[in-house]
Amino acid sequence: MEPYDEQCVVDEAWKFLRGNTTGAIRFGDHVQKVAYVICPDSTMIISAMVAMLQPQDMVMYIPDYAEDCMEMHVTLEQFVEEGEDGQYADRWQVYHGEPPDVQWAKVSIDAVRFHEMFVEGESLMHENVLANHESSLCKQVNENTQSLIDVCKRHAHVEVESPMMVGVDPLGIDVRARFGIVRVEPAAKFEQASDVLNFVDCDS
């Protein structure tokens, strides 16, 4: 039996979480599909039903409630769009459009089961080192629609008619399409802003 490499499991779990933007939350006898975003400070955000915000045991499945999904025990903390955390709601809407519910919640990950391995939720708190460049990178990349179309097709194998880059982190870029978010991942991590521009504009 190969030795258990906890860091490898954590890295793969983080990549999987970042590579998706949808999930399902089980609360009580209900399972509700949700869309999420991960903010530059690693805060995870969802649009939440009122019933989800009551104190209770909650499990979130990524990307859906299925046999091979990631299973996370989570805690929700409500916030209001008009308050100091409004930026989180804004980011969600940039990714997903109009929210299905008017309540908002931060999602704290308590524990994770991934590929039959368990990791602590706090190990998935990764601040985005490209956060300070994200806005300018999105603006520059979105000025060249054809290059973004080509990158989505080549690396994600998805045809996107009118793509818009809405987020970036060292593991990839998030592109909004009419049908949802397309995750495009490079062969090697982005170390700096120029890596992202080279990936999109000078990809070969």
Q: Read off the tokens for 170.
A: 């060292």
Tens of pLDDT, residues 136-162: 999 999 999 999 999 999 999 999 999
Distance separating alpha carbons of residues 137 and 48, to the nearest angstrom: 30
- pLDDT at position 1, please? 34
**Per-domain residue ranges of the chain:** 6-124, 131-201
Contact (CB, 8 A) for 183 and 174: yes
* 115 phi-psi bin (left φ>0, alpha ψ -120 to 50, beta other): left
Class of domain 6-124: mainly beta
Is pTM beyond 0.75 here?
yes
Low-confidence ranges of the chain (pLDDT < 70): 1-4, 202-204
- pLDDT at position 171, please? 97
- pLDDT at position 83, please? 87
Map the chain to HEC letters: CCCCCHHHHHHHHHHHHHCCCEEEEEECCEEEEEEEEECCCCCEEEEECHHHHCCCCEEEEECCCCCCCEEEEEEEEEECCCCCCHHHHHHHHHHHCCCCCCEEEEEEEEEEEECCEEEEHHHHCCCCCCHHHHHHHHHHHHCCHHHHHHHHHHHHCCCCCCCEEEEEECCEEEEEECCEEEEECCCCCCCCHHHHHHHHHCCC
Tens of pLDDT, residues 70-80: 999 999 999 99
CATH topology of domain 131-201: Split barrel-like (3.20.180)
